[in-house]
Structure 1
């Protein structure tokens, strides 16, 4: 009887062993959880902060005069964020903002400084705004557009940067004027000079910069909207957002944003109110 019981016990033990899934490790009773990920490892997983920037606008990047230090609010904020994280800074300058946005979505860059539109918030995460900028129009000499209210007329050609938030809004809202897309801000300035467009639409910080390069042009009074620029990071790194929010509040309070605005010669913008 005893030998039968032992055989039965051995059979039961063998069958039970077959029911245990392979490859599943069990935790040791006194095992401790690993250390929480640091903001640097979340926001700059490559070990350096890659900041997406684009040239021709003081909100993002302006090459240094005679090979000197670059300027631009985005450039300076990226440098400050890298220092705050304790990682090297790598500014990545693209030809146009649309390429910056694509790089944020793909994770090719770690951070960007751009208009926090509703559409963009679906594909990247934003901290609170640090800069408010009016949206307006730059008109060429002799343009039929005399005011913001007279833009939407048949025969009028309004330039926008291809794929920009201005493109998205005005392509929808303008019912009579023709929207003409330019690949870059620099090309848009040439189009204004040559009379290929009657006005160009974007934020006033960029418009004032363009006006210096287009003789006889002027930025119209009034606005058709507002841009609120904020720090953007790729989706999936939301664990780093509290750090970015704190950073944004700090650089607004300590005067870094205001100083960067002044150094870049940015016009038509103001530091966002504290929230």
Structure 2
């Protein structure tokens, strides 16, 4: 495994601390203990592993949504984020290969006539999505006839949906399934409408970002091949996701 040279490390972590943006909008990636505010999850474990490899302390900076996490790294106060790969975000962020893959899914009310994902994109259909999320960006590009209604965050999609907004809820499958337990009369449409590749991202504005992302890509590849990613997924009881190829 290659090491990162001092000049590249300085441009990667200019403060001498690895400042990591943690997206709490996706429970597959990270979660916060309500009482202690301690952060846990696969992204936290990977962040600490990277910190050990470059011999620097790690500062975890939590955000409530993916879009807020992305905005944070654009501001220059964060060195690394864990977000979904998306070409829109890619204008400012350079990505490693994906470390895990999760699924974007639709949920409807039991009385809905929709039986498949393909039926959702029709005139008059209104899909509730979390503003700025990976699936919002994807559906913005892909949906031709339906209308997107944006909730404040991924966590509020189902609440908005159940309050009468839209006729389809879209999101990370695990988030929808978890939120659906708070209500009755809901069902998931079978399968998925997209695969969401989760990766590490760093700002392209930094000097030597190409060298840094090459190093981090090698780290991610090694963590997948060694079983590290699979082990932390098991430890955090992550269901419905898989280690990326």
Residue in structure 2 matched with residue 243 of structure 1 by the alignment = 215
- The more displaced of 154-163 and 253-262 is 253-262
Residue in structure 2 matched with residue 225 of structure 1 by the alignment = 194
Shift of 1:65: 6.3
State whether residues 48 and 87 of structure 1, in contact with CA within 8 Å, keep that contact through their aligned partners in structure 2.
yes
- The more displaced of 74-83 and 260-269 is 260-269
Aligned residues: 238
Q: Does 1:166 align with 2:135?
A: yes
Alpha-carbon distance in 2 for matches of 1:172, 1:76: 33
Question: Higher strand share goes to which structure?
Answer: 2
Residue in structure 2 matched with residue 93 of structure 1 by the alignment = 62
Shift of 1:162: 1.2
Are the structure 2 counterparts of residues 160 and 126 from structure 1 closer, same or farther at C-alpha, using a change threshold of 3 Å? Answer: same
Secondary structure of 1:47 counterpart: coil
Q: Does 1:261 align with 2:230?
A: no
Residue in structure 1 matched with residue 75 of structure 2 by the alignment = 106
Residue in structure 2 matched with residue 27 of structure 1 by the alignment = none
TM-score by length of 2: 0.86
Q: Does 1:47 align with 2:19?
A: no
State whether residues 40 and 87 of structure 1, in contact with CA within 8 Å, keep that contact through their aligned partners in structure 2.
no
Alpha-carbon distance in 1 for matches of 2:183, 2:155: 10
- The more displaced of 37-46 and 78-87 is 37-46
Q: What 5-or-longer segments of structure 2 have no aligned partner?
A: none
Residue in structure 2 matched with residue 135 of structure 1 by the alignment = 104
Secondary structure of 1:67 counterpart: coil
TM-score by length of 1: 0.77
State whether residues 23 and 29 of structure 2, in contact with CA within 8 Å, keep that contact through their aligned partners in structure 1.
yes
Alpha-carbon distance in 2 for matches of 1:195, 1:267: 29
Alpha-carbon distance in 1 for matches of 2:194, 2:110: 23
State whether residues 180 and 186 of structure 2, in contact with CA within 8 Å, keep that contact through their aligned partners in structure 1.
yes
Per chain length, whose mean CA-contact separation is higher, i.e. which structure has more relative contact order (CA < 8 Å, sep 6+)?
Answer: 2
Alpha-carbon distance in 1 for matches of 2:47, 2:118: 37
Alpha-carbon distance in 1 for matches of 2:185, 2:49: 38
Q: Indicate the structure (1 or 2) with the bigger Cα radius of gyration.
A: 1
